């Protein structure tokens, strides 16, 4: 396997995907508080999109909020489509 130097460090090119696979979940993991902040931001943006008449954008943002926190009640309130209730 070919060796490469990066910033003075030598590594095997084939091991880079393995390192990224291992580090991915560590980097991607968010605290519950951060997940709720993210969901709140999506809902806020969804409300803004609704006032602008951009209903498809609103739907996508609400879906993103529920993906971040599946039981996030502000993304499910009655003013939004009933399939979320």
Task: Tell me if the pTM is above 0.85.
Answer: no
pLDDT exceeds cutoff 60 at 6: no
Report yes or no: 42 and 75 within 8 Å, Cβ to Cβ.
yes
Interval 52-81: pLDDT, tens? 999 999 999 999 999 999 999 999 876 655
Domain ranges of the chain: 1-30, 32-84
* pLDDT confidence of residue 30: 79
Interval 29-55: pLDDT, tens? 679 999 999 999 999 999 999 999 999
- HSE, side-chain direction, 13 A CA sphere, residue 18: 5
């Amino acid at each position: 396997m070919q060796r490469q130097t990066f910033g003075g460090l030598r590594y095997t090119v084939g091991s880079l995907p393995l390192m990224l696979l291992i580090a991915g979940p560590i980097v991607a993991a968010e605290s519950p508080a951060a997940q709720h902040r993210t969901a709140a931001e999506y809902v806020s943006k969804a409300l803004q999109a609704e006032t602008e008449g951009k209903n498809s954008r609103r739907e996508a943002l609400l879906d993103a909020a529920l993906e971040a926190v599946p039981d996030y009640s502000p993304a499910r309130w009655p003013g939004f489509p009933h399939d979320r209730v």
